[in-house]
Amino acid sequence: MSAAARPRRSRPLRTLAAVTTAAAFALIPAVPARADAIRDQQWGLEALHTEQAWRTTKGEGVTVAVLDTGVDDQHPDLAGQVLPGKDLIGFGAGRGDSSWALHGTAMAGIIAGRGNGPGRADGVLGVAPEAKILPVRVILESNDPSRGKARESRGTALADGIRWATDQGADVINLSLGDDSKSAHPEPGEDSAIQYALGKGVAVVASAGNSGDKGDRVSYPAAYPGVIAVAAVDRYGTHASFSTRRWYATVSAPGVDIVVANPDQHYYIEWGTSAASAFVSGAVALVRAAHPGLSPAQLKTLLADTARNAPEGGRDDARGYGLVDPAAAIEAGAKLCPEGAEARSAVAGYRKQYFGAGPEPEREDEDPAGWLAPAAGGLGAVLLALAVVLWRGGNSVSRAR
């Protein structure tokens, strides 16, 4: 992690998805946080040139499926944005519980939050504030007592969720989750579901993984062919040390000190490749709204070609092709997709296992097959930390408990 980001490690640490190889909860003494307004702390919006992109579109007409721990459709920042969804777990925490829909609500806010209060000047504003969120519950929070039961009985939830979201008309699928444990391996059912989505013209975005400082292990679903895999950077464009460095990284996006909404009506500052994935899903929603005829393969190529701050040589495993830039992608997309074109249903087309040289993951018989992404470890699936809680609608700040 960069020198600027390293001190943030002194803030409370909390994972938000099931963890197989690390403690689910670790607290470190907090440090004071700035007392700026919530909106002022959303540095990611400026980094992605959203104001420029919004001159063309704010995502109207696009549906982003959030496959996660559930989404609070009653949160003021998401009021009217959340469509009827699907719960593929069927048990565990419910509304009002401390372990319900934390991670999913955070991701939905990054993608399509609309803020709240007078002039919607308070709360979280998403990258595509006019897009709709389709929630699909496929994992449980790390502190949900039913997590173990879900791992054993809902192993196909992720694959089923991808297919369901596709059939419900999702334009983009956000997967801020993954398995980057030592036993991680590709699951045929998940791979097939992703290819099904791509073949139907649905763009699939996933977090690259959070094992950058713990072995850089391959993360699935990020490593499946056709997926737009997202690495994390800080506000200076520096690769975040926790962000996995692998061949499949497509682009990078903000993943450090990200303000997120929470069902408890507070706001938290967190970091991880989960947030980076959500930012890119919002960016894809903007590009898709402007150019609905683009296929998933075209969208992926477009994001890579228009990314800013490209690494030396044009690409590396730490940041992909650079920082995603939806405004530039919208402008360049006009040349690829003339008005009225209907190319969206085109299949992604890449049929090899990897985008470039990749290892053959080893299988371990003792690892529960099928849970993979839902068993999300430091996986792409988590925001690595929650730091401070910011009171809604004001500048006062209190520390997380």
Which domains are present in the chain? 34-349+372-392 (3.40.50.200)
Tell me, what amino acid is at 234? D
Active site residue 243: no
The residue type at 307 = A
- Band of the pLDDT at 338, cuts 50, 70, 90? low
pLDDT recorded at residue 339: 55
Catalytic residue among 75, 103, 239, 291, which? 103
Asked whether the beta carbons of 181 and 20 are under 8 A apart, the reply is yes
Q: Which of 49, 68, 144, 219 is catalytic?
A: 68
pLDDT in tens, 195-247: 999 999 999 999 999 999 999 999 999 999 999 999 999 999 999 999 999 99
Beta bridge pairs of residue 254:
233
Q: Which of 63-67, 73-77, 275-279, 388-392 has the lowest mean pLDDT?
A: 388-392
Beta-strand runs (E) in 59-180:
63-68, 86-87, 114-116, 122-125, 132-137, 172-175
54, 133, 47: which is closest to 330 by C-alpha? 54
- Cα angle, residue 263 at apex, residues 260 and 265 outer, rounded to 5°: 75
Residues 114 and 76 sit within 8 Å (Cβ to Cβ) = no
- Give dist(CA 48, CA 29) in Å, integer: 32
Q: Could you give the CA distance from residue 64 to residue 108 in angstroms, rounded to a whole number?
A: 9
User: How do residues 247-266 score in pLDDT, each as one tens digit?
Assistant: 999 999 999 999 999 999 99
Q: HSE of 132 in the Cβ direction (CA atoms, 13 Å)? A: 15
Which of 283, 206, 285, 275 lies closest to 246, judged by CA? 206
Active-site residue (options: 99, 243, 274, 277): 274
- Over the chain, what is the mean pLDDT? 81
- Its pTM stands at 0.82
Q: Is it the case that residue 37 has pLDDT exceeding 50?
A: yes
pLDDT at 181 (0 to 100) = 87
Reported as type and span, the H/E element at residue 152 is: helix 147-153
pLDDT attached to residue 182: 87
Judge whether 239 counts as a catalytic residue: no
Q: What is the pLDDT of residues 97-150, one digit of tens each?
A: 999 999 999 999 999 999 999 999 999 999 999 999 999 999 999 899 998 898
Residue 68 is among the residues annotated as catalytic for this protein: yes
